[in-house]
Every structure is written in structure tokens, then in C-alpha cells.
Amino acid sequence: MIDENIVFAEDFLPDDVRGGEPRVARGTATTEGRVFTVTGGDWDDMLAEGQFGDGGDSDERIIVNMGPQHPSTHGVLRLILEIEGETVVQARSVIGYLHTGIEKSCEYRTWTQGVTFVTRADYLSPAFNEAAYCMAIEKLLQIEVPRRAQVIRVLLMELTRISSHLVALATGGMELGALTGMTAGFREREEALHLMEFLTGLRMNMAFIRPGGVAQELPEGSIERINAFIRVMEKRLPEYDKLLSGQPIWKMRTKGVGILPLEACMQLGITGPVLRSAGLPWDLRKTMPYCGYEEYDFEVPTATEADCYARFLLRLAEMHESLKIMKQAVVKLAEPGPVMVTDKKIGWPAQLSIGADGMGNSLEYIKKIMGSSMESLIHHFKLVTEGFQVPAGQAYVAIENPRGELGCHVVSDGGTRPFRVHLRDPGFVNLQAMPAMSEGSLIADVVAAVASIDPVMGGVDR
């Protein structure tokens, strides 16, 4: 017997395809309106308690493991789907396959060394992890980062936002069969990573943003390279409109699919493009400005359809806005200034250079520090090996990363190492919306829904 509450495929395909109404995430009707909840638990316990298979003949339902090695589940995400025919009746996500203990590892390193750990959490947006972590430390230290360092941080974050969104579009296209979209997306991402390598020395996990500022001044020729990147992206981004936006198959696979209304987003704590696709222009760069974002002129794109197609268009629009911010940052870089706080008891030397052997510092720098005084040499050694002390207390800082609100909560006991570090990763929170988006849909639409959430399992599991 088929459950009468199941919504079938023809009920939620786009209006211009089947003539039916788009399927909206299901919730429980209460006197206060619909309530959207997320449940979970150990897989063995759920089987023992019969949570899967209730409400119908178990012979007509199948439990499918989608992942953790499935190419359409963004790495090592495991989806447990109870299906009837090709309709998903219940869905659960299983995480933890990429747990690296990053937050715990920070407790065994100095505050500055912790940057090299947090940058590897959400590995598609390392600059945001570094910025949130360092801003939390700076909040405890009660220090003001130099203006030029703030501009460089904004530049790197917006470059990273573009790079991350390109991966979201590329992998989403690949999972829905648009292989040309995948190759084009990764082609543009290479342009972004080449620029990141030129500016910071590394393509990913740069650890370039440090407590008190940034690691060092941008290299010569940076302005020209940044402007060249902007010109290339302004030429190529419109190609996605021709390639995907007007493509009828792409629209059929994404319009009216994975709908999550605003009320569901608010109840589940969803942020980022998923929230803005439901019509709420909540962007921390605008609502709670940081790093001087209040000085930049840009828009917060929104939509009201709250489906996969709207999220695709939003990410495309956000890349244009990021290019607009990068242009303004380039103008601000014309003003010289320090890139690290002047307090020598906090700021690491910010003008480190590479020697002829490609390692260490230049001989000129070593000669300078060795010839200054024994006290300065001892201080430099202690600063690098032991680190600086941070006053006891706790601080939370939230910023807008490509997936939503990224928060960093740090606790200090007054020592040279963090007592606790916790990242509020938006991918972890947003992934909880997967059952609400997917239950009642086809299996194929689960792929589209997860792709539109854009979870990065490094940040989800940490």
C-alpha cells in the first residue's frame, strides 16, 4: 500500500514541464504554522526501532545507501534513502568520514600555528577560515588590524569566494550531466588559483592571514595580475548564462526542485545562498560589516523561488559582485601602509623573504636580526616557538563565507595556546535541510538538492 502523503514526480516538476505545482519542503502543520524539523541518529538504532519502513508495506520500499563513495555526494557524504519506486520517502545524512580533528589539534599549537589547521577545514574557502579565526583572536587581544591588511584580507576572501562558487557550479553541473559546465568551471577556477598562488605563495591552505594582519606585503606586479584576472572573469562569466541559464535540460533538472521556503530556512538555521534564494537578503558583509566591508559598494542578490535554479543564479550573480569588490580593493591598495600590527610582542615579522636556496629567510634579513641585539634575537626565537599570550576569555566572530555564516569561537585561558577552538561551519548546518528538500522527490532530484546546498565535507566534519 502506497503512503498517501508521498508526493510523486509529476507533482513537483516545473510548471512549464508537466503543468504541476513545484514541490515544497514538507513540514508539520501546527497552530503556529508549519514546523520543519530534522531528525537523525545511529543507523543501527534506527533500524532496530523501525524508523525506516513505517507507514507502508516494507516489501514495496527499499533502503539505498548513496555514498559515501558516490561521485554525486561531494566527497564522503553518505545519504541513506528509503525509496518507494523512485520516490524518496525518508532521507538521512551520515557524516564523519572526513573528520580530521582540526579543532582539537589547535589546542596543541600556538595561536599563530593554529592558522595552518583551520585553513584546512573548509578547503574550498581557506581564506575565510583564516580570517574568522584571526579576527576572534584579535577580539580577545583588543587590537586593531592595519587598514592595508584589512584590504588585503577582503581581496583574498572575495577571490576565494569566486573560486569556491566556481567549484559549486562545476561539480553541480557534473552531477547533473552538464560536463561542459564542469570543464568550464574548473578552467576558471585555475585562473583564480593561479592568482592566489602569485599573491600568497600557495594555491590553497595559504595560512597567509595571521593574527594582527597578514603574513607579508603583496609581491610586485600584484595590481596588474589582479586586474588581468578581473578582465578574464568579466569576459567568461557571461558564458555560463549561455551554457546553463538558458539550457532547457538544466532548467528542467533544477527549477522547482529542492525548494526550501523562508520559514524552513529560519527554523533550521540556514544561511548563505540557500537562505537568500528564499528572499531574505541576509549577508553579514552588509548586516554586520567587518574588515571594512561598509566602505565597499556591492549588492546582495536575492531570489524568491527558493529552488536549485535560483541558487545557481545567485552564485553566478555573487561572483560578479565579488569582482566589483576586488576592483574597489585594488584602488584602496594604492595607499601604502603596514600589513601587520606594530606590537612586536604579537605580530610576527611581516616581511619575511625567501633565500636563494628557496628556503628560509634571505641572508640580508638574517644578518639584520643577528646584528640588532641579543635581546631581539631571543625575543624573535620565543615569539616563533612559544607564541604570544592571549588574555583569558572567549570570543565569537562570524563572517560571510561562500556557504553562509562561518563562525569561530575561541576560548583562552591566558596562555600561548588556545584552550578551545570551534568553527560554526555553514555547510554542517545547511546540510540538515537535505531531508526537507528531498523527501517526496525522485532520487535524481536528491543529487540536485545536495549540489545546491554545496556542502564541503572538510568543513562539515572538521
Greater pLDDT, 175 or 137: 137
Greater pLDDT, 241 or 283: 283
CA 188 vs CA 128, 170, 184, 214: distances in Å? 20, 10, 6, 26
Residue 15: what pLDDT? 44
> How much is the average pLDDT of 95-112?
89
pLDDT tens column, 44-73 = 665 565 555 554 455 677 888 887 776 666
Q: What percent of the chain has pLDDT over 90?
A: 33
pLDDT value at 280 more than 50: yes
Residue 14: what pLDDT? 41
CA 163 vs CA 239, 284, 382: distances in Å? 16, 19, 37
Greater pLDDT, 387 or 318: 318
Per-residue pLDDT band for 405 (boundaries 50, 70, 90) equals very high
Residue 223: what pLDDT? 92
Per-residue pLDDT band for 392 (boundaries 50, 70, 90) equals very high
Which residues, at least 6 apart from 187, have a Cβ–Cβ distance to it below 8 Å? none
Considering only CA atoms, which of 346, 350, 408, 329 is closest in space to residue 135? 408
Tell me the Ramachandran region of residue 312: left when phi exceeds 0, alpha when psi lies from -120 to 50, beta otherwise: alpha
CATH topology of domain 105-341+390-461: Cytochrome-c3 Hydrogenase; chain B (1.10.645)
106 by Cβ neighbours in 10 Å (0-12 / 13-18 / 19+) ranks as buried
Residue 11: what pLDDT? 41
pLDDT tens column, 182-210 = 888 888 899 999 999 999 888 888 888 99
**Structural domain spans, the chain:** 9-94, 105-341+390-461
Q: What is the C-alpha separation between 13 and 11, in angstroms, rounded?
A: 6
Residue 438: what pLDDT? 85
pLDDT value at 88 more than 70: yes
| DSSP β-bridge partners for residue 35 | 28
Considering only CA atoms, which of 354, 409, 456, 452 is closest in space to residue 140? 409
Residue 362: what pLDDT? 59
Residue with cell 540556514: 270
If you average pLDDT over each of 14-28, 321-335, 363-377, 431-445, which comes out highest? Answer: 321-335
* Torsions phi, psi for 51 (to 5 deg): -65, -25
Which residues, at least 6 apart from 287, have a Cβ–Cβ distance to it below 8 Å? none
Mean pLDDT across the chain = 82
pLDDT tens column, 370-390 = 677 677 777 777 888 888 889
Q: What is the C-alpha separation between 42 and 178, in angstroms, rounded?
A: 35
Angle between helices 179-200 and 147-175 (to 10 degrees): 160
pLDDT tens column, 158-168 = 999 999 999 98
pLDDT value at 8 more than 50: no
pLDDT value at 395 more than 90: yes
> How much is the average pLDDT of 350-355?
54
